[in-house]
Amino acid sequence: MAATVGRVRSPGSPALRLRGACLLVAAALGATTLTGPPEAPEPTQNRRTTVEATDANPTRRTLAVTSEGLAGIGATEWQAAGHTGAGTKVAIIDLGFDGWEDLPEGELPAGVEAMGFDSTGALDTGTDHGTQMAEIIHDVAPDAKLVLVTFNDNYMDEMVTWLLANEVDVVSMSLEWTDGPIDGTHFSAEHIQRGIDSGITWVIAAGNSAKRHHVGTTVDNDGDGWVELMSPTTEFNEFLITGGATADLLLTWDSPATDLDLCVFDMDNLTDGAPTQVLCSQGPQGKGEPALEALTITNDQATSRNYGYSISLFSGPEAIYDTRVWGSGYLEFSNPAASLGVPANMTDALTVGAVAWDTLELQPYSGWGPNQQGVLKPDVVAPDQITTSQWAGISNTGTSYSAPHVAGIAALMIGAMPDLTRRW
């Protein structure tokens, strides 16, 4: 049993499912880690928030603000008709909620509940990402009850059991795992699916990998052991990492009989006229092992540097590979199709892509489907680049900010139509 800690900010329906309908959100085509105390450390989590920009405003606004996305999704009309999410409960599952107890009056409702499913119960983990998600949901569904949730991967089962026991109607989840696999068998899927099958509307950000994702076939025309990633001679896919930043890379492929390796090169540092290899992931595959390689690289320089990854065909038959990177600039070569993150690629999750709030145009980074089961996703899109108490405009870029708008609309719909059920 986890050392779960619960807190309530101040004293102060059946679980239902749906795949959002009457939202203005149109149908789309297609971090900080949690650790325990030193004496009982928990494993590092391969998770990131689904934020595109990361420069925070150092000070919060002193007065409450409202997301500019409300009118675009029709929330103002629902509220004017008296539908405010009363009688519903929404859980925001995130990596941290720094500052949640010190927000300007009106940013969150009274009686916010807080639960930490790990050895510490900490909500203030070094990021206020979850705090902003909660603000957006409160803007959309001001009378919905909110639960702020942090968790360690080892306690997902306990977390879902608690959500069900406490009749949570909607979950808003603006994060993704970077460790794979991406075929629907990631360990998180069974826990999230249990929540969905038991009645929770599970809303997940699509991720921001449309331009950080590349798919191809393991063709090695020149026989040098390195896959040609684009033209007959292109064996590097370049990307930029800003000074001091860390990027995660993931390579997966479809043939269990093939062994591939993933290597990263410093394109700005040449050795004998060629980019310098700085890191490789060379796990054994080809005999039933998971067909994936993952690595993390940090630019320890003060300035941005160009890196590139290459794929080594160690052994086995031709395969279709999928590569993606988090925490970097866009890839030199990218394919947006099938760029959804984990768990946004789950068939029964309500997956949300991003559109700019003022133009309602699809954001270039917003993840696309289909998933590996052939299901077109995301299911809906919603606004980003909106204002919260900490950040504003382009600083609030990413599908992270879109998902809580949809979670709020789901609460409005459930509150207005308690007999609503999921049908598709």
Asked if residues 98 and 383 have their Cβ atoms less than 8 Å apart, the reply is no
Tell me the CA distances in angstroms from 357 to 285, 361, 382, 415, one per residue in order: 45, 8, 8, 25
Closest CA to 392 of 9, 13, 22, 68: 68
Put simply, whether the predicted model's pTM sits higher than 0.75 gets the answer yes
Which pairing describes strands 246-253 and 380-384: parallel, antiparallel, or unpaired?
unpaired
Backbone dihedral region for residue 33 (phi beyond 0: left; psi -120 to 50: alpha; all else: beta): beta
Out of 24-28, 107-111, 335-339, 414-418, least confident range: 24-28
pLDDT digits (tens, 9 = 90+) for 42-99: 444 688 777 775 554 445 455 568 899 999 999 999 999 999 999 999 999 999 999 8
Which pairing describes strands 170-173 and 89-93: parallel, antiparallel, or unpaired?
parallel
- Residue 216 in tokens: 């191809």
What SS3 class is residue 220? coil
Amino acid at site 347 = T
pLDDT digits (tens, 9 = 90+) for 244-278: 999 999 999 999 999 999 999 999 999 999 999 99
- Residue 253 in tokens: 């492929």
Say if residue 364 is preceded by a cis peptide, omega within 30 of 0. no
Partners of 152 in the β-ladder: none
Burial status of residue 271 (CB atoms within 10 A of its CB: 0-12, 13-18, 19 or more)? exposed
Domains of the chain with bracketed CATH: 5-209+338-416 (3.40.50.200), 213-326 (2.60.120.380)
Asked if residues 368 and 341 have their Cβ atoms less than 8 Å apart, the reply is no
